[in-house]
Amino acid sequence: MREIVLDTETTGFDPFSGDRIVEIGAVELYNHMPTGKTFHEYINPERSMPAEAFSVHGIGPDLLEPPQKPEPGAVTLRDKPVFAKVGQKFLDFVQDSRLVIHNASFDMKFLNAELDWMGLPKLPMDQALDTLAMARKRFPGSPATLDALCRRFNIDNTNRTLHGALLDSEILADVYLELIGGRQPDFGLSTQSSSTSSQVEDDWRPVPRPAPLPARITADEMAAHEAFVDKLGDEALWKAS
């Protein structure tokens, strides 16, 4: 089963009031495991960048009013493609796969507005799976932000000082896999298969290891243990055998 974990960054909250997408990041999962394939684009929104949005994601200092001089590593947008140049490539990447999104209604609203303005097919809402709703159902009354879920599941998000679509997608993929029961929710024992998935032979059996693993205890550690046991006397558990 192919899934796409997706996130966007925007200039604001409402595409129908003039806000636009400025970044799309997506990560491919196959049978709940990352494949390493990603989609990532920065997008010129063809408008100014509100200071409030800039404070969240730090993208587009050149679109602020007045423009700011970009700090090292900052992402500028005037030289990036407009959505019309990347929309079809985005659809080609996601295809009809399930879209895993945190607060799906927000991202789907923006994506479908941009696609509609291009005359491209919109994404059905039932194609999206909302991890925010999943988290609220599983942990009622608890914070369900991405950062809060990272803390709950001990997922490292130390690189997330600002929002970024690709980084957030990678983090969300880890969160999603925890929400559904871990990286292998069916322990790899599912009998269902597809033409593109790897097959497990029906007669698979474990085989003996061809050679024992080398000992991880050093000679000094062994000597220290023996000296410790000697101090315990003849009744020590280690001498019972």
Which residue type is seen at 217? I
Domain borders along the chain are 2-179
Comparing C-alpha atoms, which of 182, 185, 187 is closest to residue 154? 182
- Any binding-site annotation on 46? no
7 is in an annotated binding site: yes
Confidence tier at 211 by pLDDT (50, 70, 90)? confident
Residue with the bigger pLDDT between 111 and 214: it is 111
Residue 9 labeled ligand binder: yes
- List 32, 40, 102, 163, catalytic entry: 163
Instruction: Kindly report the pTM of this predicted structure.
Output: 0.74
pLDDT digits (tens, 9 = 90+) for 35-67: 999 999 999 999 999 999 999 999 999 999 999
CATH class of residue range 2-179: alpha beta
**Is 163 one of the catalytic residues?**
yes
- Answer yes or no: is 32 a known binding residue: no
Residue type, position 100, single letter: V
Write out pLDDT tens, residues 157-205. Answer: 887 656 789 999 999 999 999 999 875 554 444 444 444 444 434 444 5
DSSP helix/strand/coil, 97: coil
Residue given tokens 């879209």 in the structure block: 99
What are the structure tokens assigned to 103, written together? 């607060």
State yes or no: cis peptide before 66, omega within 30 of 0: yes
Q: Which two tokens stand for residue 10?
A: 């925007």
